[in-house]
């Protein structure tokens, strides 16, 4: 069995030979500690010890989550327990329970794990750094109670935070405790966030544009000092795309022959295709014809002329344009909402709206399905006249 003075680099570069199920490399510095490289690609720290003439093994944890120093410290805890005749597995659990502070778990265990797959991990880090870390960072996870979490949610609401923001913080806490229990870093009975109820969210957006308001908005955008604003607003209205999708759009993503716009990485994490209307296609054809000849097809459709990178924000020009159009308070996302409303008012099904907006869940589409008053009046007129009301009756 190979033995090395382990380093972080040696550990992280270990792989299992293709002909074996796992491959063990022992630490020359601390007897019994080794890294187990599994065929599946996982790396686990384990410590082997001898008890009653038999070799036994305690798994310390994922080598991509634990540092080498942490693994050595935990291995020493196991060895001391064996020398004293105790149960090393129980000693490890008790040690973790006593020492696992919330900040320690978040930065050293939770965040490295979610970064590998979660696109919004930076949001998790921001929420923790803004609210949870300063308040409970040094507190042991098992010392935080359900009452503590409920009090924090109430405090955030009194400070003006929306229910959705409070629920996002609660979801992060719940997942942290779920992972800590799964990895046996805290006791399985300790899950204070589990019983805290989420706040009711009312995310229905009632603001959407009429055709006349959309016309006013585009007319105002054409007078903006931001020369790209009118086309950007037009594309959002014609396609229902998200702001980030439009800002990051590249010419190579647009098939003008097939009239399709490919979104490489949408909010759902999947590729989706947006069919282009005649108006959207004309807008893009005009921009394509006017672009500099030296601009590569991988370039952004709405690139900053100075940096050739996409704009990150157009807040000021947007606010000025909305005020000029008499639509103060209108949000960019309301253009997406208006796109859906135009479709529904034209008689298209919610399924069509769902596909065009790229919603994975049909319930999300319901918030955009607003009918105009004219369609509602037309709907009630479909009921036949049963009989004329007689004077004095009723």
Instruction: Give phi and psi for 344, each to the nearest 5.
Output: -65, -40
Best CATH choice for the domain 3-98 from the list 3.40.50.300, 3.30.43.10, 3.40.50.10540, 3.30.160.390: 3.30.160.390
Tell me how far apart the 2 most distant CA atoms of the chain are, in Å.
Answer: 104
Out of 59-63, 84-88, 212-216, 322-326, pick the least confident: 84-88
Tell me what pLDDT residue 95 has: 53
- Paired strand residues for 254: 261
Tell me what pLDDT residue 382 has: 74
Q: What is the residue whose two structure tokens read 């009653």?
A: 52
Tell me what pLDDT residue 343 has: 87
Beta strands 3-4 and 22-27, pairing class: parallel
Confidence check: pLDDT of 373 > 60: no
Rounded to 10 deg, the angle between the 229-239 and 211-221 helix axes is: 160
Most confident listed range (64-68, 194-198, 340-344, 389-393): 194-198
Most confident listed range (139-143, 153-157, 181-185, 358-362): 153-157
Confidence check: pLDDT of 331 > 70: yes
Q: Tell me the DSSP string of 87-105.
A: -HHHHHHHHHHHH-BHHHH
The pTM of the whole model exceeds 0.75:
no
CA dist 43 and 21 (Å) reads 12
Confidence check: pLDDT of 106 > 90: yes
Out of 5-14, 194-203, 247-256, pick the least confident: 194-203
**357 backbone φψ class: left, alpha, beta (φ>0; ψ -120 to 50):** alpha
CA 250: distance to chain centroid?
A: 23
Confidence check: pLDDT of 239 > 90: yes
CA dist 176 and 105 (Å) reads 8
pLDDT band at 348 (very low <50, low <70, confident <90, very high): confident
Out of 151-160, 213-222, 268-277, pick the least confident: 268-277
Q: How many other CB atoms sit within 10 Å of the CB of residue 138?
A: 11
CATH number for the segment(s) 211-378? 1.10.443.10
Residue in 22, 46, 21, 43 with CA at minimum distance from that of residue 33: 46
156-190 confidence digits (pLDDT tens): 999 999 898 999 999 999 999 999 888 878 877 78
291-308 confidence digits (pLDDT tens): 877 777 778 999 888 888
User: Do the beta carbons of residue 334 and residue 207 sit within 8 Å?
Assistant: yes
Average model confidence (pLDDT) across the chain: 84
Beta strands 33-38 and 22-27, pairing class: antiparallel
- Paired strand residues for 220: none
CA dist 342 and 7 (Å) reads 61
Q: What is the mean pLDDT of residues 97-102?
A: 71
Confidence check: pLDDT of 354 > 80: yes
Confidence check: pLDDT of 235 > 90: yes
Instruction: Give phi and psi for 56, each to the nearest 5.
Output: -130, 160
pLDDT band at 205 (very low <50, low <70, confident <90, very high): low
Q: How far apart are the first and last CA of the chain?
A: 96
Confidence check: pLDDT of 393 > 50: no
Out of 29-33, 75-79, 295-299, pick the least confident: 295-299
**143 backbone φψ class: left, alpha, beta (φ>0; ψ -120 to 50):** alpha
Q: What angle do CA 274, 277, 281 make, to 5 degrees?
A: 90
Beta strands 43-51 and 33-38, pairing class: antiparallel
CA dist 355 and 217 (Å) reads 26
CA dist 221 and 318 (Å) reads 8
Residues 6+ apart with CB under 8 A from 193: 146, 149, 170, 173, 174, 176, 177
User: Do the beta carbons of residue 341 and residue 205 sit within 8 Å?
Assistant: no
CA dist 250 and 296 (Å) reads 10
Token readout for 364 is: 């999300």
In the DSSP assignment, the letter for residue 142 is: G
Out of 95-99, 148-152, 160-164, 258-262, pick the least confident: 95-99
| Domain ranges, ordered by start, for the chain | 3-98, 102-182, 211-378
247-277 confidence digits (pLDDT tens): 999 999 999 999 999 988 766 567 889 999 9
Tell me what pLDDT residue 394 has: 47
């Amino acid at each position: 069995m190979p033995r090395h003075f382990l380093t972080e680099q040696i550990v992280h570069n270990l792989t299992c030979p293709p002909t074996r199920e796992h491959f063990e490399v022992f630490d020359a510095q601390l007897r019994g500690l080794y890294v187990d490289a599994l065929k599946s690609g996982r790396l686990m720290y384990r410590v082997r010890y001898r008890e009653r003439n038999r070799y036994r093994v305690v798994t310390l944890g994922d080598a991509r989550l634990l540092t080498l120093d942490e693994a050595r410290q935990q291995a020493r805890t196991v060895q001391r327990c064996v020398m004293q005749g105790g149960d090393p597995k129980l000693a490890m659990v008790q040690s973790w329970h006593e020492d696992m502070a919330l900040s320690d778990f978040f930065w050293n265990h939770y965040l490295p794990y979610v970064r590998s797959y979660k696109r919004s991990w930076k949001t998790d880090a921001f929420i923790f750094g803004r609210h949870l870390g300063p308040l409970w960072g040094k507190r042991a996870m098992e010392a935080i109670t359900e009452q503590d979490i409920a009090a924090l949610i109430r405090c955030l609401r009194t400070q003006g935070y929306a229910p959705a923001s409070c629920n996002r913080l609660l979801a992060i806490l719940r997942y942290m405790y779920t992972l800590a229990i799964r990895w046996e870093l805290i006791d399985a009975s300790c899950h204070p966030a589990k019983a805290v109820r989420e706040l009711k969210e009312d995310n229905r957006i009632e603001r959407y544009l009429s055709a006349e308001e959309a016309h006013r908005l585009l007319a105002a955008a054409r007078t903006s000092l931001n020369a790209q604003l009118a086309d950007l607003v037009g594309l959002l209205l014609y396609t229902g795309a998200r702001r980030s999708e439009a800002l990051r759009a590249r010419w190579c993503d647009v098939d003008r022959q097939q009239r399709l716009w490919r979104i490489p990485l949408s909010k759902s994490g999947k590729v989706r295709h947006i069919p282009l209307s005649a108006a959207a296609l004309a807008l893009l054809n005009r921009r394509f014809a006017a672009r500099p000849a030296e601009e590569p097809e991988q370039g952004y459709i709405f690139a900053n002329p100075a940096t050739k990178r996409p704009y990150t924000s157009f807040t000021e020009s947007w606010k000025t344009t909305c005020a000029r159009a008499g639509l103060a308070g209108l949000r960019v996302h309301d253009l997406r909402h208006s796109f859906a409303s135009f479709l529904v008012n034209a008689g298209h099904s919610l399924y069509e709206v769902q596909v065009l907006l790229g919603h994975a869940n049909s319930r999300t589409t319901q918030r955009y399905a607003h009918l105009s008053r004219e369609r509602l009046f037309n709907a009630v007129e479909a009921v036949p006249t049963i009989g004329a009301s007689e004077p004095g009756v009723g």
